[in-house]
Amino acid sequence: MCQMFILPIRFRRSVERTAFDLVIVGGGAAGLRAAIAAAELDPDLTIALVSKVYPMRSHTVSAEGGTAAVLRDYDSFDLHAQDTIKGSDFLADQDAVEYFVAHCPQEIIRLEHWGCPWSRDEDGRVSQRAFGGMSVKRTVYAADKVGFHILHTLFQTSMKYEQIHRFDESFVTSLILDGGACTGVVAMNLRTGTMAAIQGKATILATGGCGRVYEFTTNGFIKTGDGMALAYRAGVPLKDMEMVQFHPTCLPGTGILITEAARGEGGVLVNKEGERYMQRYLPGKMELGPRDILSRAMIQEIKAGRAFEGPYGPYLGLDLRHLGEKRINERIPMVRELAEKYMGLDPVHELIPVRPGQHYIMGGVSTGLKGETALPGLYAVGETACVSINGANRLGSNSLSECLVFGAACGLAAAEFAKKRPSYPRGATAREALRKEEARVFDGLLGRERGKETVAGIRVEMQQLMERDVGIFREESALADACGMLAKLRDRFGAVGLADKDRVFNTELTAVLELDFMLDVAATIAHSARDRHESRGAHSRTDFPQRDDANFLKHTLAFRTDGAPRIDYLPVKITKWQPAERKY
């Protein structure tokens, strides 16, 4: 079955327009939700949705367990806010959390009206399940393919709106700046290998996280921190980048995620002695504690020699056997599918090997409540952004809700901003930005001859040093080492050459551009971590084991300079939950 036919390269979806009211970079849950919110606000608004992949490939697709909202009488906004703030180790901005929890329910219902196949109770209402750090059953789900269903529901719904113009497989290389404002993006169309300026009265970055700066991550290959680096290079600070989430239950070898819903549905964690070791660390919550605590407990079990040994190193066991085949198939079918396919075992009868892996970053582009940044006309939302509702540790099932709530808010705010601007940005500035990017990327990067340094070589060195020195437990000398090594890798990056000289779909070139972004983002993570001399949430310093509210109840801001990032701080917004010891 290898019948092939070659057509001349053709561009059926010939988008002639180059200036839009709104340019959205990223086609995952946050970007699509923003696009739909703007389209619903005003049918005359023109919206460019620029994505480096077909939108339904976006990494939202891999989210599994669920999305949080207060929907039942036993729950309240105050309780959801309190759980989120306590989970964040009091680094979340409480005004943002209050806005967030109050808007989650309507987003679940919007998705429901758009056809999302939420799992249902016998009475026909949307079901809710238990999740780590949530004090009641609050997590809405569609079996354990929640991100997949949210993404496809949003993507398919976005097809209703003719004013959403998609630029699929277009890679944004820089922002256009004019008179102290962002006026669009320069993007490389991967199919043609040509650059274009896509001008916008307002621009939203919704490119997801940066998990690929680490070696062992649940994140897909496309999660390279593009939006974070784009904003950072335009002078916008990145907030709380040291706050990196490690998920406790990932498959050794591949890093494939086994959802927290497996524990929400009753799964337990055991060491090689068959002991539910969480009783030693968090007897009050056991396996339903927050992710930072569970991941640290795993490392401690490994260090104590109580882990299993496998071909990919030590691991713990996730035991679902007592749930029975029926419940596993009904509630967490993907867990079984993944374990069978990628580990060759059946969780109905066997333990699933798990270990912690990078999963999410709480930090991101520093924004206000509507996604606005310090740069007029530039917005950021979703994992790319840091509002901050997640503080030092995000609770499972708050991130999809965050994409929906703030996606809608940001889409509306950016649309309103665009509507107030009568004319499109100046063409001359965009043409100049385009010319500069063509020179930088095509004459510069693409022209470099291949030598000793390769994109794959530097990428793996960066990933390994981040894993080793900026991982779950951190301390001064390792962090200082990481900062120095990253600067050296940045220098060596200048010598990376390319073997592929073609313009069309040059994935070696996009890998170089992505590595360029990741080196910036990794440096902000390492420097922010080095300067936070305390332990809070996911940031665990063995040399500063206590939380230090007197000195560090504040957000880190990393600003770009010609050398190392400049670190500054911003107060945390407290409304009514005074910082207290985080006890479960």
Q: Which of residues 191-250 bind another protein (CB under 8 A)?
A: 191, 220-222
Place of tokens 């640290």: 296
Place of tokens 């957000």: 555
Closer residue to another protein in complex, CB, 84/506: 506
Judged by CB under 8 A, which stretch of 155-163, 180-188, 381-389, 406-414 contacts another protein? 155-163
Q: Tell the smallest beta-carbon distance from residue 125 to another protein (Å).
A: 7
Q: How many other C-beta atoms can be found within 10 angstroms of the C-beta atom of residue 337?
A: 13
Q: Are 267 and 232 in contact (CB under 8 A)?
A: no
Q: Which of residues 288-327 bind another protein (CB under 8 A)?
A: 311
Which tokens belong to 22?
């709104």
SS3 90: coil
Q: Tell the smallest beta-carbon distance from residue 165 to another protein (Å).
A: 13
Judged by CB under 8 A, which stretch of 103-111, 198-206, 544-552, 556-564 contacts another protein? 103-111
Active site residue 247: yes
Nearest partner of 485 among 541, 523, 429, 446, judged by Cα: 523
Closer residue to another protein in complex, CB, 454/528: 454
Place of tokens 């009904």: 330
35 binds another protein (CB under 8 A): no
Nearest partner of 520 among 108, 71, 256, 174, judged by Cα: 174
Which of 498, 521, 523, 567 touches another protein (CB under 8 A)? 498
Which of 38, 61, 472, 567 touches another protein (CB under 8 A)? 61
Judged by CB under 8 A, which stretch of 144-152, 265-273, 349-357, 518-526 contacts another protein? 144-152
Catalytic hit among 59, 80, 149, 263: 263
Q: Are 241 and 525 in contact (CB under 8 A)?
A: yes
Closer residue to another protein in complex, CB, 443/543: 443
- β-sheet bridge partners, residue 205: 25, 380
Place of tokens 């965050």: 402
CA 269, chain centre distance (Å): 26
Q: Which of residues 251-270 bind another protein (CB under 8 A)?
A: 253-254, 256-257
Give the helix/strand (H/E) hosting 150.
helix 146-158
Where do the DSSP E strands lie in 502-563?
Answer: 540-541, 554-559
Q: In this structure, what are the phi and psi dihedrals at residue 334, rounded to the nearest 5 degrees?
A: -70, -30
Closer residue to another protein in complex, CB, 305/457: 457
341 binds another protein (CB under 8 A): yes
Q: How big is the site for another protein, counted in residues (CB under 8 A)?
A: 74
Q: Give the relative orientation of helices 455-469 and 507-531 as an angle to the nearest 10 degrees.
A: 20
- Could you give the CA distance from residue 559 to residue 543 in angstroms, rounded to a whole number? 26
Q: Tell the smallest beta-carbon distance from residue 526 to another protein (Å).
A: 24
Judged by CB under 8 A, which stretch of 149-157, 289-297, 435-443, 539-547 contacts another protein? 149-157
What end-to-end distance do the CA atoms of the chain give, in Å?
Answer: 58
DSSP for residue 522: H
Closer residue to another protein in complex, CB, 340/568: 340
Which of 29, 56, 206, 381 touches another protein (CB under 8 A)? 56
Judged by CB under 8 A, which stretch of 264-272, 293-301, 411-419, 450-458 contacts another protein? 450-458
566 binds another protein (CB under 8 A): no
Catalytic hit among 57, 152, 247, 541: 247
580 binds another protein (CB under 8 A): no
Catalytic residues: 247, 263
